[in-house]
Amino acid sequence: MKTIIGKIFYGFIFIVIIPSLLVIWAHYTVSQINLPVPSNEILNFVALVLGLFFVLAGMHNLWFYGKGLPMNAFPPKKFVTNGVYSITKNPIYFGTVILSFSFSAIMQSSSGFWMVSPLFTLMIVSYTVGFENERNLKVFGQQHYRPFLSLPNSTNQAITLKDKMAAFILAYMPWLFIYEAFIFVDVPKDAIYSNLPIESQFPVIQVSAIFYVSTYLYAILVPFVITSKKVLRQFEIDVWLATAISAIIFFTVPFVVRQPQFTPHSILGHILLFDRSNDGICAAFPAFHVIWAFIAALYFSIALKKFRWLWYSLAVLISVSCISTGNHSIIDVAGGIIVFIIVASKKQIWDFIRYQTEHIANSWKEWRFGSVRIINHGLYAGAAGFVGTLIIGSFLGSQYAYAGFIIGLFGIVGAALWAQFIEGSPKLQRPYGYYGSVVGVIIGSSLIFIISQIDFFVLLASFSIAAPWIQLLGRLRCLVQGCCHGKPSNNDLGIRFTHPYSRVNKISGLHGTSLHPTQLYSIGTNLLSGLILIRLYTLSMSATFIIGIYLLLNGLGRFAEESYRGEAQTPYWAGMRIYQWIAIINIVFGSIFTCLQSVSILMFDFNIQSLCWATAMGVFAIIAYGVDFPNSNRRFARLTSG
């Protein structure tokens, strides 16, 4: 009986409550987002029907083939691979995302289409990565099946027509949707032209359009020249990576290109104008023509090695044509080449980052002066305190720069008190917990608000922009100390902690084991969050909106990251890690903050007072996080034993 009631309640949450909350969220944030929405009624209706089909068919397949619903909290008796599950592993989520976007488009909800639906998609991804995949693995074990929309096996088997069709959907469609989205939105209000002054003297060479438009055919032919599943798999991953990097740059660096006007004198000139009429001056940096050209050259060279010089020569000519046609600037082309180099060298770059991360993880040094010990990881905490206080003080101005220092103090005290209740142990007399620092910041900001004239939301928004950079630098301390470490991983992905004083060895007993570099994952998500928040500031978004987006991004990243963590002392509640529940609370409050109407915006004003207070905070953070009394058993005395 309890199971039936639980299933009904669970279904009610996902079928009624969550969709209703999404509609309410979009309604109350309508004034925050002012962007055009696709208005093609036929396409919007077709997408709505398609999304509904995947949702209903997925539910039917789970019930009919799996003998139960849903797949996660109350899993069916059998793992389902039939029906729409033979098309995609997550048809219900896939359909739900399509429904969210299409319904928002039909209702012409700018907030629903451009904010709620993308964030809802990230919530689904975070939930799948952070909870559902792990739970399904425990319930059903490893499932070796590949639906139509999945990467090919990493084998030298010959690819099939089905593989090629899937590649077009998996590799090309995400790029097309993301690229066209930025073109559709058009020129942002904080746009920066990427053209160099000298480029105004460049003529439009119309004949070079033949190379420029050849990019489309060059890119489309790639799956037809690839012969093995392994290479096709790598191609799809490369396109995903290039698309992800470019999308992040498109959003965080609002470059547009100034295209010179010209009078067509030939068919190629008319083709060039036609291409411009169907494209735009946005999403120009990095130049995707260049990225596609070099990715195509790479895979044509793998398939037809004898003509390697020809394929790369064509990529160079296409890159030059981007400038000679006036469709891209020199900076755009250079950006495209850099993105391709990153994509082509991804393994070497990852290995370098991973090795450096492992080096930091095993770089523990300490100096003892009688009963006092100074540990080197405190320097990273000092850097975090310095940078965070400097950012906060610069947004608050010289008159209130001191507030950044006070907020920082409350944050450190909050982190220490939180960890005493959540993570305290005989071996850890002075641990620190991130969410405790958030509580401390809220308390400190409330105190500052009461005793001064500073807007409360401006205080929190200033911290929100600083927080990703504080946590990013703070994770370096986590590496040295060994806290927040990951679960065992494979050798190509993980890092090893070998220093005897690391918490990985002293508490978890995982000396020399290859572990997920969760601290590095956190650095990556915080870097992305920090860049997004800076862009929101340049767009003059309200203080409450910035607070909300920070909480949302932080919660989404932390929820997913937790599934890779392996700390033995992390408590569970109702099947999930306690920090995942807190991450959900973060997401809920983040959504609420984005709905709050506020006229307060942030103004950046670097001042010497902020620098002074930041220096003081840096010193205090070094002492708090890097100086202890190893021979004492008093509370807060030791950062670690030994």
439 inside domain: no
Query: Taking the CA of residue 148 as centre, how many other CA atoms within 13 Å lie in the half-sphere pointing to its CB?
Result: 13
Does 541 share its domain with 576?
Answer: yes
CB–CB of 281/259 below 8 Å? yes
End of a domain among 108, 140, 172?
140
Q: What is the pLDDT confidence band of residue 29, given thresholds at 50, 70 and 90?
A: very high
Taking 80 as the threshold, does the pLDDT of residue 642 lie above it?
A: no
The helix (H) or strand (E) run that includes residue 366 is strand 366-369
pLDDT given at position 429: 57
pLDDT value for 415: 86
Which residue, 109, 140, 171, sits at the end of a domain? 140
Whether residue 358 lies inside any domain: the answer is no
* Of the listed ranges 203-217, 218-232, 235-249, 559-573, the one predicted with least confidence: 559-573
Query: Would the pLDDT of 3 be above 70?
Result: no
Whether residues 487 and 388 share a domain: the answer is yes
- Give the N- to C-terminal CA distance of the chain in Å, as an integer: 53
Reported as a pLDDT band with limits 50, 70 and 90, residue 567 is: confident
Residue 638 lies in a domain: no
Could you give the number of structural domains in the chain? 3
Give the mean model confidence (pLDDT) for residues 569-579: 80
Same domain, 329 and 398: no
State yes or no: pLDDT of 72 exceeds 80: no
State whether 474 and 574 are in the same domain: yes
Q: Are residues 250 and 107 in the same domain?
A: no
Tokens of 605: 């004003």
Residue appearing with tokens 């250079």: 334
Is the pLDDT confidence value at 570 over 90? no
Asked if residue 7 has pLDDT above 70, the reply is no
Residue 295 lies in a domain: yes
Query: Structural domain of residue 499, as residue ranges?
Result: 372-404+420-432+446-628
Position 409 in a domain: no
What integer pLDDT is reported at residue 361 of this predicted model?
Answer: 95
Q: Which of 429-443, 444-458, 544-558 has the lowest mean pLDDT?
A: 429-443
Distance between CA 611 and CA 607 in Å, rounded? 7
Instruction: Compute φ and ψ for 296, nearest 5 degrees.
Output: -60, -45
For every residue of 91-144, DSSP letters joined together read: HHHHHHHHHHHHHHHHTT-HHIIIIIHHHHHHHHHHHIIIIIHHHHHHHH----
Q: Which residues contact 24 (CB under 8 A, 6 or more apart)?
A: none
Within this chain, do residues 491 and 567 fall inside the same structural domain, yes or no? yes
Relative to beta strand 192-193, strand 255-256 is: parallel
Q: What is the pLDDT of residue 93?
A: 94
CA–CA distance, 236 with 9 (Å, rounded to integer): 40
Question: Is a pLDDT exceeding 70 seen at residue 81?
Answer: yes
Given a cut of 90, whether residue 501 has pLDDT beyond it is no
- Is the Cα torsion angle 277, 278, 280, 284 positive or negative in sign? negative
- pLDDT reading at 559 higher than 90: yes
**How does DSSP classify residue 261?**
P
Q: How does pLDDT run across 605-619, given as a tens digit for each residue?
A: 999 999 999 999 999
**Owner of token pair 């995942």:** 580
Q: Which residues of 326-356 are buried (b: 16+ CB within 10 A; e: fewer)?
A: bbbbbbbbbbbbebbeebbeeeeeeeeebee
Instruction: Check whether residue 98 and residue 198 sit in a common domain.
Output: no
Indicate whether 69 and 208 sit together in one domain. no
Is omega for the bond preceding 174 within 30 degrees of 0, making it cis?
no
pLDDT digits 0-9 by tens, 441-487? 999 999 999 988 889 999 999 999 999 999 999 999 999 998 889 99
302 and 396: one domain? no
Distance of CA 584 to the CA centre of its chain: 17
What integer is the mean pLDDT of 222-232?
95
Residues 76 and 189 in one domain: no
Q: What is the DSSP string of 495-559?
A: EE---TTSHHHHTS--TT-EE--HHHHHHHHHHHHHHHHHHHHHTT--HHHHHHHHHHHHHHHHH
pLDDT at 58: 92
Angstrom distance (rounded) from CA 389 to CA 401 = 8
Whether 423 has a pLDDT exceeding 80, the answer reads no
Residue 413, in any domain of the structure: no
Quick one: 218 and 177 in the same domain? yes
Better-scored residue on pLDDT, 137 or 35:
35
Phi-psi region of 141 (alpha: psi -120 to 50; beta: other; left: phi over 0): left
Whether pLDDT at 60 is above 70: yes
Q: Which two tokens stand for residue 273?
A: 């104008």
Task: Tell me the backbone φ, ψ of residue 72, rounded to 5 degrees.
Answer: -105, -75
Nearest in space to 325 (alpha carbons), one of 270, 278, 286? 270
| φ, ψ at 192 (rounded to 5°) | -125, 125
The residue with greater pLDDT, 15 or 315, is 315
Q: What pLDDT band is residue 2 in, cutting at 50, 70 and 90?
A: low
Overall average pLDDT of the 132-139 stretch: 85
Does one domain contain both 92 and 180? no
User: What pLDDT, in 10s, does the model give residues 335-380?
Assistant: 999 999 999 999 999 999 999 999 999 999 999 998 999 999 999 9
Largest CA distance in the chain: 85
pLDDT in tens, 317-333: 999 999 999 999 999 99
**380 vs 521: CA distance, rounded Å:** 17
Cα–Cα distance measured from residue 124 to residue 71, given in angstroms and rounded to the nearest whole number: 14
pLDDT over 70 for what percent of the chain?
Answer: 96
Helix-helix angle 434-451:402-422, to 10 degrees: 140
Q: Is the pLDDT of residue 420 over 80?
A: no
Predicted local distance difference test score (pLDDT) of residue 428: 55
212 in any annotated domain: yes
61 in any annotated domain: yes
pTM, to two decimals: 0.93
